[in-house]
Chains A and B, each alone.
Chain A
C-alpha cells in the first residue's frame, strides 16, 4: 500500500473504532440518572476497557504480520478501547462527589479506579500470555 493510501486506511480504522467505542459507552451510561450509579457505570466502562487493552497488547505480541498488528492496534486499541474508556467523565464524577462533600465516595472512586485499572490491565496482560 502506498503511504497515502495506508494513511487513509488508518483514519478509517480509527474512526470506526472510536465511533463504536463511544456508542457503547453512551448506551451503557445514557439512561442512568442517579449520580451515584452514573459514576460507577463510568468506572465499569473504564475498568473493562483497561482489561481488554492489556489482553490486546499481549495477544498482539503473538501476531507475526506487522501490518495486521498495526491495523488491530489502531482499530481496537487506539480506536475502540481508547474511545470506550474516558478520563474526562471520570474527573467530572470525581469532582461531583467532592463538591457534594461525599469524601468517602470520592476516595473510594479514586482508589478503586486506579488500583482496579492497574489490576485489570495486568490481569488481561497475563491472561493473553497464558
Chain B
C-alpha cells in the first residue's frame, strides 16, 4: 500500500478521536503511550508511518496544549496554566516510559503471547 494511504488512515483516525475525546491532555497522554510502545518495539517503517506519524501524530497536539495555556493566562489563571504545562509534560514523560516498558515486555519477555505459541517457537528453535 502506498505510504500516503497509510498516513491518511492513521491521521484521520487520530484527528477524529481527538475531536470525540475533547480533552487534549488525555489525547496527548494516550498518544505518547502508544508511540512509546511502538518505538521500543522497533517496528517496521510502514507500521511507524500508520501508527506513529499518522495516528499518534494527529491524536496528540502541541498547539492545542499551548493554546489552552494561553487561554488560561489571558483569564489571569496563571496557577492553572502552570499546572497544565507541568502536568502535561510530566504525564507525557511517564506515559512514554511506561510505553517503552510495555513494548520491551511484548518484544523480549513475550508477554501477551499464549503459552502454546511460545512453546511452538521454542520447539522451532530447537530443531
Using a CB–CB cutoff of 8 Å, the interface residues on chain A facing chain B are 10-11, 14-15, 17-19, 21-23, 25-26, 29, 46, 49-50, 52-54, 57, 74, 78-79, 81-92, 94-95, 110, 113-114, 117-118, 121-122, 125
User: Are A54 and B70 closer than 8 Å at their CB atoms?
Assistant: yes
Interface size, B (range): 35 or more
Main secondary structure of the interface of B (DSSP, over half): helix
User: Are B57 and A89 closer than 8 Å at their CB atoms?
Assistant: yes
Give 4 new A-B contacts, CB below 8 A, not counting A22-B8, A25-B57.
A78-B19, A82-B63, A87-B32, A91-B96
User: Are A117 and B62 closer than 8 Å at their CB atoms?
Assistant: yes
User: Are B58 and A23 closer than 8 Å at their CB atoms?
Assistant: no
CB neighbours (8 Å) of B58 from chain A are 18, 21-22, 82-83, 86
| Cα distance A117–B89 in the bound complex, in angstroms | 14
| Cα distance A85–B24 in the bound complex, in angstroms | 12
- Which listed residue, A15, A22, A82, touches B64 by the CB 8 Å rule? A82
User: Are A53 and B67 closer than 8 Å at their CB atoms?
Assistant: yes
Using a CB–CB cutoff of 8 Å, the interface residues on chain B facing chain A are 4, 7-8, 10-12, 14-16, 18-19, 28, 31-32, 34-36, 39, 49, 52-54, 56-67, 69-70, 73, 85, 88-89, 92-93, 95-97
- Given contacts A50-B66, A82-B64, A85-B61, whether A15 and B56 have CB atoms under 8 Å apart is no
User: Are A86 and B56 closer than 8 Å at their CB atoms?
Assistant: yes
User: Are A83 and B11 closer than 8 Å at their CB atoms?
Assistant: yes
- Which listed residue, B54, B62, B96, touches A92 by the CB 8 Å rule? B96
